[in-house]
Structure formats: C-alpha cells, structure tokens
Amino acid sequence: MMDSKLQAGHQDSQSKSPAESGPAYWLSLEELEAHPGMAERYENEFMASPLSADDNGFARRDFLKVMGASLALATSACVRRPAATIIPYAKAPKEITPGEANFYTSSWFDGYEGAGLLVKTLEGRPIKLEGNPQHPINLGALSARAHAEVLSLYDPDRLRGPRRNLVNKDRSNSESVSTKFEEADAAILEVLKKGGVALVTGSKPSPSVRAIIGDFSRAFGVRWVEYDALSLESVREGQRLSYGRAVLPRYRFDLAQFVVSIDADFLGTLISPVEFTKQWSKRRTPGADMSRLVCFESTMSLTGMNADDRVRIRPSRQLDVAFALLNRLARKGATMPAGLAESAKAFSAAEGEAGLDPMFLDRVADELWKKRGTSLVLAGGLATATAQQLELQVVVNALNSVLGNDGKTVDHDSAVFQTYSGSAKSLATLIQDVAAGKVKTLIIDDLDLMTLLPKDSGFAEAIKKLENLIYTGNRNDATGRLSNWVLPVGSSLETWGDLELQSGIYSIQQPTIMPMYDTRSLGELLLAWTKAGSASARVKASETWLDYVKATWSQEIQSKTDLGRGKAFNDFWIELLQTGVAMSGGRRERTSSARAFVGRVSVKPAPNRAVMELVLHANSQMMDGRYANVPWLQELPDPVSKVVWDNYLAVSPAWAREQGVKQGDVIEITSGDFKMRAPAWIQPGLHDAVCTMAVGYGRKGLGKVAEDSGFDAYQAAMFNAGQPIFSGRLVELKKTKERYELVSTQIHHVMENRPLSLETTKAAFEKDQGSGIHRHHVFTIWPEHQYTKHKWAMTVDLNSCTGCSACVVACSSENNVQVVGKRYVMEGREMHWIRIDRYYKGDMASPDTVFQPVMCQHCENAPCETVCPVLATVHNDEGLNDMAYNRCVGTRYCANNCPYKVRRFNWFNYVKKRAEPLHMAYNPDVTVRTRGVMEKCTFCVQRIRRATNVAKDEKRPLRDGEIKTACQETCPADAIVFGDLNNKESRVAKLFAEKRAYTLLEELNNQPRVRYLTRVRHAERVDEKHGHGGGHAAGRAEDRQDQTTCAFEGGLV
Amino acid sequence: MSEASMNMASEVARKPLILGNKTYKDISDDICEPVEAAPGKRWLALLLSAKGLFLFYLIHIAIVVSTGMGLLGVNSPIAWGTMIITFVFWIGIGHAGTLISAILFLFRQKWRTSVARSAEAMTVFAVMTAGIFPLIHTGRPWLDFWLLPYPNQRGPLWVNFRSPLLWDVFAVSTYATVSSVFWYVGLVPDFATLRDRAKTKIRRLIYGALSMGWRGSARDWAHYEMVYLILAGLSTPLVLSVHTIVSFDFAVSQLPGWHTTIFPPYFVAGAIFSGFGMVVTLLTLVRIGFPKFKDYITIDHMEVMNKIIMATGLMVGYAYGSEFFIAWYSGNPYEQYAFINRAFGPYAWSYWIMVTCNVIIPQLFWVKKFRRSIPVMFVVSIFVNIGMWFERFVITVTSLHRDFLPSSWGMYEWSWFDTAILSGSFGMFLTIFMLYLKFVPAISIAEVKPVLYVGRQRPGGH
C-alpha cells in the first residue's frame, strides 16, 4: 500500500516537468492531463483527510495550534523570566566540536611526584586527567593524586583573588581584605627594592621556573631556598658522602631481579611510585625471570604488602639490617669498604641483640650475592628519617657498591631525578637569619610552612621579625593568615609551565582553561616583578609568561632534545605541544659505570630499649596534604588500612591486646614535653614496639573538606637544625578514655578460608600454572547467550596489582562517582564502582597481604538481572550488564543478590549536594544519578560506544586495545586488561585462556566476565590449602585464631 | 458446666461455645453495644494515642520519602532493612485471620465463630499496614506503579516476570483483595442487624448502605452461604501461597541463609504462629475492654488458639533446627558460615531473642493452667510477636551482613527512622483496629447465633 503510494508520488514529481508529454504510466485521467492540484493531492497520504483545509482554509489542527499558541502567549506575557544570556559559539575555536573531547598534553607535579598528562577537555573545560602514554616516566598511568588536580582546579574553597591580610606586629590579627594584583605589585616592588629578600619554594624541577627564579634573584638579590616537606635530602646527601656528588639516583626496578627495601615505600610514596610500579610489575611476570622483593619495614606500607617476604622491624634497627647484610656479604668475599669496617664490626658483635632472624638474613645475603649486579638495596622516605638517616644511606650505598649494582640498578648519571632538590639545612640557616633580622622580606611559594615545619624549627617565632611576608598560596591557611600578602597561584591546569623530572626528560605544561579566578602562577608573578628590576634580556623580551617559557625552551632545551635538534623553534614547539614531552633519547636505558665508594661512617648499634618508637610516614593519597581538600582523596580508602577521611596512630595487635586498646581508643602520645592525641588503629604487621602515623592530615585552613579530617602529625616531627627527624622518636603511649570514630571501608580483614584472592608460589606455579585454583564443575541446562558482535571481558592480574588504588579515583573521575563523606562511609554508603579488597593471611603479627580489585563482574548469568522487577538492569547483546538508571525504582533487590557486592545505591540526592563549581568536573558522557537509583561499574560503556562508533565511521573492525576502561588506563601496574572475547587474537581472550585465570565464586555459576589471574609469590611458604574439602577444615582452626586477633568489628560498630 | 453434665448421658459432652445462658437477643445486644453506645473514655484515650503514633508514622514516612532511604539503617551490604522486615512481619500477622475464617470454616470448626471477625479484621488491617512498606521502601516511591503490568507506551519495557518481587505484588494484592471482600461479605448480615437497630437516620443510612440491601430472607441467606463458602475456598490457598511467595523474595536469591527450600513451609508456619500470637494479644485486650465479650470469646477459645501457637511454634523451631542441619549436610561453606554466624556472630543476640521467644517461651503452653491463664497467654503472645519480628530481622539482616566476600561485610546502621517506622506502623494498625471496634461488630452476630446451643440444651428440648 505504502509502497505504491510512494511510487505514485515519485512518479508524479518526475512527471511535473514533462507536463506536455504526460507520464508514461498514469493513475487517472487527471494525472495524464497534469490537472492542476494533482501534485498537491499526491503529497497527501489520505485523499480525504479530516485535517485538510476545507473551504474556509482553516484546518482543525491549525486552529488548535493557533489557539494554543495565543493562549500560551497570553498567559506567559505576564511572567517575568529571569534574565539569561545564551552566548552562541559565534566565534568558536575551530578545534572545538561541542560534545567531542579535546585532549591536550600537559604535565603534573605536586612537589614530589610528576607525570605527563593528557588533559581531557570539553568545551574548553578540563574534566579528566589521563596519563600521557608518550611520557617515559608514567607511560600513560597516573597516581590517585594526579587525578585529583582536576578537582583541585574546581575547589570551591580556593582563593579567588589576591588578599591583603591586615597583620599586626606579632602577626596575630586575622583580618583580611581582597585586593588586586596591580595593587599588590606596586606595594611589593617597593619592598623588593629595599633588599633583604628571601624566597622559599618547594622543589622546582621546572626549567622555566628555575630560570625566572634565577633572573628574579639576580634582579633583587634574592636568596632562594628549596624545601621539601617530605624531605629526601638524606638520599642526596648520602650519595654525596658515599661517592662525592649529591644526586637523587633513579632506581632501576626493570633491571633488578632481587630487591631489598629497608623502609623504602617505592610502590607507594618514594620519589616516583608510578614509574617504579610500571618497572616493577614488568619484572613480576610469573616465570623463571620473575623478580623477588624483601622488605624490612617499620611501617606497614604498600611496598611491604607486596613483598614476597616482609620483616617487621623498629626504625632503630634499619642500620642493623644494613650492616648485617654488609657483614654477611663481606664474609662471602665482598670487600668491606674501609670507612665502614669499624662500625660493621660493632654491629656484628651486637647482632644478637637486634632481634633479627640471622637465618633469614643469611638467606637474603646469599641471594644478594648470587644476583650481584642485578640486585638492588634501597632505603629512603620519612620512615628512614631517623637521627642516623645519613649513616643508613651510606651503608645502603656501600651494599649496592659491593654488589656491583651501582651504575646498573642504581642510575646515578644518565637520567637521575631532578625532584626533591629541597634542603632542610639551607632552610634552617635561612630561619636563623630571619630570626636574626637579616631578612626583611620573605616570599613563600605555596608551602604552608607553619604546618609543614616542626615546632622546633623556630619558624613561627622567626617570622615575627619579618617586615613583609608574602605567600603565594591558594588559601589563607596557617601560613597565609600570617602573611601580609596572599597571592593565589591557581592550578597548574591554568598556566604554562614545564618540567624536567629526570635529567634530559622535558615535558610541557599547557594551560587547558583560562584562569578561573584572579590568580597568577609563580612564573607570571616573578616575571612581572623582575621586569621592574634589573631584568635579563630574556625577561625584557618576554611580554608574557608564555614568551618566557618559549624563550627558555628555545635557548636552553631545544638543542638538547632529539625532537628539537635541527628544527625551527616554531616547528619544534608545535610538535612538542602534540607529544607533550621531548628528551634526549636513550638516557633512560643507559647504564653507567660504577663509582668509587668513599663513604665513611662511625656509628654504634642502638641499645635495646623497651620504649615505643614513633614513625611518621606519608601515604600515597595524601603525601604532604597539599590535596587534602580534594574529596576524592579523602574518601579513597587508604591502600593499607582502608581507612577514609582520617589518619590514626597505628599500633600492633599484640600491643593493643596487652594494653587493652581497642580500635578508635584515643591515645595520648608523650615525648618529653611534647604531647598529642590520636586514635588507635590496630594494624597487623607492625612491630610491637612501633607506632606509626601518616602526615598530611589535620591541615587547617585548606577548606571545608580538609577541616576535621585527621590529625596533624607534623607536630610530632623534629627539625633538629636542618635534619628533619620523622622516625624513631621515643614516645610513651597512654590510653585515654576518649574514643574517636575511625571509618574503614573494610571491617573484616581475613578471607575466612574462602577461595577469593588466590595465590601460589613460584615453585608451584612452575610445576602447574593453574596451581592454587580449585576448579568447580558447573553446568547449566539453559542455552547460553549468543554474541554475534562483541563480547566484552576484563582480566585483573593479581600478580601485578599492587593495590595502589589509582583506579578508584580514575573511575570516580570518569564516571561521576559521588563522594559521600565520612559519616556515610561509616554507614556503608560509599559509592565507589571499583574497590580494592585487601585481605591478611597467616599470623597477624606479620601477615601476608593479598589485594583484589573488585568491580561489576558483568556475569553471564547475572543474579541481579533476574530479580529486578522492572527490568532496570538487563543483559545487552555484547554481554554487558546494563543499568537503566531512569527505569530503576530502587527496590535494591539486585544489590542483595549480587554476591560481589558491587552495586551502589543513591541513598540521598548526592548530585545536588555537590558544591559548585565542582560540578564542572563532571563527565558529560556519563549520566549523573539521581536519588533512589542503583548504580555500578559499566565497563566504561561510554568509551566502548565511542570507540565502536569511531571504528564504524572509519569502516574498519575495532582494534584490540582501542578501548581502555578508565581503571585500566590509569593502572601503573598494567594489571587490568579489557577487550573483546569474540576477537580470538585479543589480549583479553588470551589471558582468559591462561591457566592462571579464574573467576571469583565460580561455583555460583554466575559466569563473571571478569577473570582474575592468580598471584604468584616468589617465596616458599604460601600454604596450598586453597579450594575446598580438606583445605577448609585444615585451615579453619588457625584462621579462627587470626580472626580473634584481628577482631576489628568491636572498634568500629 | 452443670448443663453440660446433664447432657452427658445421651451424647459426648461438649463444652458450650457461648457462656452465660444467652438468648439470641442477648447476643445482638451484647455485640452491638460497643458499636451503639457512646464511646468510652478508655477507648477514646487509646484511639487518640494510637492516632498520635499514626501521625508520627506518617510524618516520618514523609521525611523518608522526601529525603531518601539513607535515613534508615539500610546500606551496602544490607540493602533491605526495617521496612522489609516489618512488611513480612505484618503480612505474617494477617495469616491467622484467613486461617481462622477460611480454613477452619471449611473444616467446620465451630469455635472459630467468636474469634473469626476480629481475626479477619486483623488480617485486613495487617495487610494494609504491610502494604505500605513495599511502596515506601523503594528509592523512588513515586515510580512504584512501574511494578504493575499495565499497558503502556514503553514498548518492550514491561515488568520482569522472573522477579520474585513482582510475584509479591500479585500475591499481596490478591491477598488484600480477597481477604477484604471475605471480611466484608461476612459483615453484611451484621450491618443489617445494626441498621435495623439504628435509632438515628444517619446511622440507618450508613449501615443500610453497608448492608447492601440485606433483608434476611431465605434467598439472601442461601446466596450468602454460597458466596461465603466460595470465598473461603478462594482464601484457603492464599493462606499458603502468600507467605510462600513472600518467602520466595528470599529463597529465590543466591544469598547464603536465604537460598533454602525450607522457606515456604517455614514462612507459612511462622506466619500462622505470629498471626495467632497477635490474635491472642488483641482478643485478650478486647476481653478486657468489653467485659461482656468474655462470654463469647471464652477461655476455651483462647486455649485452642494457644494450642495452635504451640504447634506452629514447634514447627518453626523444627525449621530453625533443620536449617542448621541442612547447612552442615550441604557441605556449602558459605551456607555453613551464614548459620554459624547467625547463632554466634555479632547478631547472635537477635538470633537468641528469636529462639527464646518463638521456641522456648511457647513451651509454657504444655501446661494447661498456663494455656488458660489470660495474663500468661498475653505475655507469651507478646513474646511471640517480638520473636517473629526478630525472625525476619535475623533472616534479612544477618544473612545480608556477611555474605560471600568478607571485604564487603558490614553492619546494619539502625537509626531513629527505623524506630519511628517500626513503631509507627503499630500506630497505623491500632488506629484502624480501634476504629473497627467502635464501628463494626467485633464478633459475628450472624455466626455466633447458630452455635449458641452447642454444648447446651436448647430451650424446650430437642
């Protein structure tokens, strides 16, 4: 019917022009004669429509339309609408297509760790950070903190313009007025011209910033001091003492077959954890060549949790461990360095008292000796910042030297770190000078020194002598409040910059948004000021900060890089902006020659004391607390304890039992006249005479999020005249009657002998790749789903996953996952779509740890799908378990029936509660979920759709690896692989077929689309009692006991 | 008693069902009295306090609906809490009414006549109270109608017939409909009695309308008896099916502690158990409130119900034991853990409250003296009510709080709103029940009259 009509119409239109000749076929005489009005008639489907215009030419529907419109006009004419302006993209930048993301290369550096970035921007607004795959340091991965920069940009609590604080003589006034940069400039220039100026910054590995600071210093005679709140000066200084040149070496975990770490948390916080994790995980591929890690630790760190063998020690025994190894190596034929011989003898004599297991040390030394040249011993980080921090570094350097690791696994020359250049010693001298009145004006760049410096530094008293204190911070925090001027520097996503994180690795920092507020980066600020002084040629030639950055690149950097050599600067610059990074090639792969060890130490073993030692440490989500006001990081469960929104005083289970301390009891820490209080957290794996606490929390004045989260542990540190002591302080702990609520996302810490996160040993794995897995016979009587297009699946390699939790934040950023706050996490309402389960095994005094990232398993036989009464969660034809938010009524039956407990419910209207302008960080590709609906991991379905559409547009099959989920993309360990099982060549299909692959809770026959690959522990003692039957029975008694020692429930609920 | 012994010679002695040598008129007078007399102070006080609680309930429901389910203690992993627990509790309560009015009717248990009306009323009100919960426990209650398979324009997007929650929608709505119709049909002759006795016009009009033109003719009675029989027949399977389907909400899932085949019979037995508990609670109160009713709702009636409580209590106790046995026998470690955790885990207190109230305390009824003692049975029935609420708490919360992955274990975060919702639902129930006592004959006049002479000599001999 329709067809013939359409054809008729078609014919008609053809027949119009040759009206004279008439159509070849005709329906009626009128048509044949091309009667006027015929064409119009054919247009209408119904010959006699009741709607058509009749004689008066006014159809019924037209009448209704006109009537409706006039009614609407009549009624709305009286409504005064709020004035709103819609500005069209009349002059749209040509690269912007609304709805299409643009990616810009940039760099991120938080004072400690740096990374190359790809900034995802939509309509000119950065919404997500991704790692730049071309950047050799992070290779596409990012840490949790790097992701946080985007939320930090939209932080509602940061300053929106410069402020002048009306400080009085002793700087106790807190009045503050807003001002303009022009005003500030004028006033500050006057001050600068008077001289006596000092500048304190954090480490500045940026060539342009270093250059402008140089110009600025020369212009006004400014003294520049760098200081890192989480100092690694001891490593640089230890290198100088051992080899004559201060350097921050690059440890080569990609070359190390055997790593011994003495309190060096290189997977979590030390120097460049993302890079180290990348390298380390590569060497962890199960097989003959697999590396091995032994940790001697006084904290329970992420690295220790990933160790094949971990020994808990007190910080005062770090030297004992190093010397014990050195003595053993010497007995095996290594040359004992002359400068160490005497001390080594003393330690050898006292070894019995150190409480270390000599047999174990023998084995470690054997292995080191066997793998000399491919082993690595390292120490560093806050936990090693004891009074003997330098001696420890020297002995560790000696170990690497006698083992022939120097120059091989310890790169001291070709691509060493340019970060951590701060010097507490110089700062100590500066503070002295300030106190002596030698400094009139102090400029502090974005370092809240009032918080970050221990009380005994004398900083608080010294600054009262200053005439002017200028602070370039984004908040009126503890230091800001004391300053005359607070000049906000904004976010690194708003300004130009660059980084040389390792020598010869240069990356560019592009702004991706106009500065949101009236802010100026340090470079801009100094450039403006320097122009008024005796400026260098470069400063004079630079109208803007960008000009200055470009000049620095063209004059200093271009010629050093492969990308820039022999090119016009403009070509180089354009290419640089595209790649984001330029380097002089091969530096990172090169090994260098061994240096002559010249270190000397004279140190005696510490006496055995029955006193608690306090260890302060950093954790990977908070570091010095710079990002403490970013809710993502506060709500990110600590990789070790799974505690959110707080730090705590960690104590060992045995100590807690002995003292009757429960989780959350407030403990008073005393040491001399120092006193502070913190809640206790019972942490398996700690030495019984050690308590630990993370810094970076309890920071005041950062904003609403950071306020009331945790306790300031910096005050327990000692500055010790330029040698900061964070570890080994002797303290007394006393339980008080107070209680404090610590909230953890995981309140049960053992697997109850269930086959969940599976592991095996290297030996067992070599015999049988499927060892450690108990397979179940499952069958179904129903026909299985058929997939003709794609069949999405994911694998998670438990052997590479370190539990660093970067994926959790990446997922939150990509999928608009809401933060709910401490109280609601306590009530079990956290919203994370992916979580890292962490279980302890074995003896609670010194347990083994396993991790397991769990996201929606996208089951074939999904238990959630059958129980939803309204079909809000359904299986799609590519095997995804879809969630239709707008169909969801919220019965929550699906969550009950999900054995993996990955479904998250919107208990409240979280979207509405998000403070502006944080909503600007939302990913518009992902719906925000309203109150009362269920949500969960979608396998980043928006990325799948985008990639499949692109492939379809380009008329080609989808390539394997083209789709990366947000968690996979950011994973520093490359533990997550996503792909299409229908493509037999895909990585995921191959991993699915591996013998090491298993599904979680296989016996339920849900057939998850996520498979885990067993962890292979490079140690002997893993029990093989996994699986069913006898294993359960045998393991039970012992595990019950663990459970009682690990009964954390009492403290939390 | 003396009359009964006189009869002994000729037939097996039956105890009279109605005491006090009533005549037919006495019956009408006695039963209509609470409806016709001016409301007493005690009744008024009770009504007002129940209504206060009801209002309190409504306010809290409004707050929860407008703010979010997060106000209650539900969380991940315990996504169902007080609302579902109390829903199952009230649905269970309803079962005694249907059992008494339908099944005992079919079995010609004449003693049921005195208690059937109130038990049925309790059923209807309990189902009303219960019915609120599935509606308000959802995240978006304003979209609850999506659970109904009505014709719409959403194409293939309809309800999911595989979901036990949908079965629940049908089961509960059917149950609510049938039991209300059944109750109302039984009321028709009594409404007619009230109409005929009415002294004011309004009263006559209202009861006249309610009695639907009942004339008491033989035809009326014939139709009435037939309808009543048919409805009893319809209701009977519902006694079994409703709670069976409610139990499917749990049994059909994968969760250790829920996924058990014993649930349907166990839930039905539990429902009858709790229902009789509530009937005993209410009728002891009715007896106190309306002393004349003691002649109709006699100690013998109460004793029979107490026997049923004891029997069903034993069945429930058997189910508790059986669950443990099966958990052990199955060799399923998750199931085993779930049950060990129930009895010895952090929620052990709730488990032992349940066992004490439901299994141990009803054992008192082995002793005849206790079975026939009003204070004892009142206290026991209260314990049964408490125990049965806890049974649902144990099933829902302790199974959910520790399931497969220990990493996700948690605790229920009981909040003020849980307390408000739970206690408020009693406000709703009691308000309706108090109104019922005032406006509806609480004992079936029409059904009591035929059993007046059971165990008694008819006037004028046979």
Predicted confidence (pLDDT) per residue in B56-94, tens digit = 999 999 999 999 999 999 998 999 999 999 999 999 998
pLDDT at B360: 92
pLDDT at A1026: 43
Candidates B68, B165, B333; nearest CB to A893: B165
- φ/ψ of A692, rounded to 5, equals -130, 155
Candidates A748, A887, A1028; nearest CB to B409: A748
- Alpha carbon of A588 to those of A136, A585, A719: distances in Å? 8, 8, 35
* Spatial separation of the C-alpha atoms in residues B436 and B125, rounded to whole Å: 10
DSSP secondary structure, A254-323, as one string? TT-SEEEEES--TTTTSS-HHHHHHHHHHTTSSSTT--EEEEEESS--HHHHT-SEEEE--GGGHHHHHH
Residues A403 and A363 sit within 8 Å (Cβ to Cβ): no
Q: Which of residues 98-127 of B touch A (CB under 8 A)?
A: none
Q: Which of residues 15-74 of B touch A (CB under 8 A)?
A: 67-70, 73-74
B75 touching A (Cβ < 8 Å):
yes
For residue B426, give both structure tokens. Answer: 């009693």
Size of interface A-B (CB pairs under 8 A): 173
**A599: number of CA atoms within 13 Å, CB side?**
33
Cβ-based contacts of B139 with chain A (< 8 Å) = 888-892, 905-906, 931-934
Map out the domains of chain A with their CATH numbers.
2-72 (no CATH), 250-411 (3.40.228.10), 612-744 (2.40.40.20), 759-1042 (3.30.70.20)
Closest CA to A322 of A384, A369, A392: A392
A1005 touching B (Cβ < 8 Å):
no
pLDDT at A4: 44
* Spatial separation of the C-alpha atoms in residues A661 and A666, rounded to whole Å: 9
β-pairing, A505-509 with A581-583? antiparallel
* Spatial separation of the C-alpha atoms in residues A398 and A377, rounded to whole Å: 10
For residue A336, give both structure tokens. Answer: 């004992």
Q: How many other CB atoms sit within 10 Å of the CB of residue B253?
A: 22
Q: What angle do CA A991, A996, A1000 make, to 5 degrees?
A: 90
Cβ burial, residue B346 (10 Å; 0-12/13-18/19+): middle
For residue A516, give both structure tokens. Answer: 């949101």
| Residue B291 pLDDT exceeds 90 | no
Chain A residue with minimum CA distance to B161: A869
What are the residue ranges spanned by the domains of chain B? Answer: 2-146+160-451
pLDDT at A38: 63
The reply to whether residue A867 touches residue B140, judged by beta carbons under 8 angstroms, is no
- Alpha carbon of A761 to those of A262, A292, A999: distances in Å? 23, 12, 19
Question: According to CATH, what is the number of the domain B2-146+160-451?
Answer: 1.20.1630.10
For residue B380, give both structure tokens. Answer: 């026991």
A889 touching B (Cβ < 8 Å):
yes
- Alpha carbon of B324 to those of A335, B253, B331, B343, B447: distances in Å? 68, 19, 11, 10, 45
Summarize chain B as % helix, strand, coil (round to 5).
75, 0, 25
- Strand, helix or coil for residue A583: strand
| B410/chain A closest Cα distance in angstroms | 7
| Residue B177 pLDDT exceeds 70 | yes
Residues 6+ away with beta carbon under 8 Å from A72: none
Mind listing the pLDDT tens digit for each residue in B102-113?
A: 888 888 788 888
> Structure pTM?
0.86
Closest CA to A325 of A265, A261, A384, A264: A261
Of the pLDDT bands very low, low, confident and very high (cuts 50, 70, 90), residue B453 is confident
Candidates B68, B144, B408; nearest CB to A907: B68
* Spatial separation of the C-alpha atoms in residues A473 and A200, rounded to whole Å: 12
The predicted model gives B114-127 an average pLDDT of 88
pLDDT at A8: 43
**A217: number of CA atoms within 13 Å, CB side?**
13
- φ/ψ of B342, rounded to 5, equals -60, -45
Q: Which of residues 920-939 of A touch B (CB under 8 A)?
A: 930-934
* Spatial separation of the C-alpha atoms in residues A667 and A224, rounded to whole Å: 40
pLDDT at A6: 43
* Spatial separation of the C-alpha atoms in residues A41 and A38, rounded to whole Å: 5
**Quick one: DSSP state of residue B314?**
H
Q: How many other CB atoms sit within 10 Å of the CB of residue B55?
A: 14
pLDDT at A810: 94
- Counting as low any pLDDT under 70, the low residues of chain A are 1-24, 26-63, 71-92, 1021-1053
The predicted model gives B236-246 an average pLDDT of 88
pLDDT at A87: 60
Chain B residue with minimum CA distance to A1002: B404
Interface test with B, best of A818, A867, A1026 (most B CBs within 10 A): A867
* Spatial separation of the C-alpha atoms in residues B185 and B152, rounded to whole Å: 34
ipTM of this complex: 0.91
Chain A residue with minimum CA distance to B163: A867
| B173/chain A closest Cα distance in angstroms | 15
pLDDT at B239: 82
The reply to whether residue A933 touches residue B70, judged by beta carbons under 8 angstroms, is no
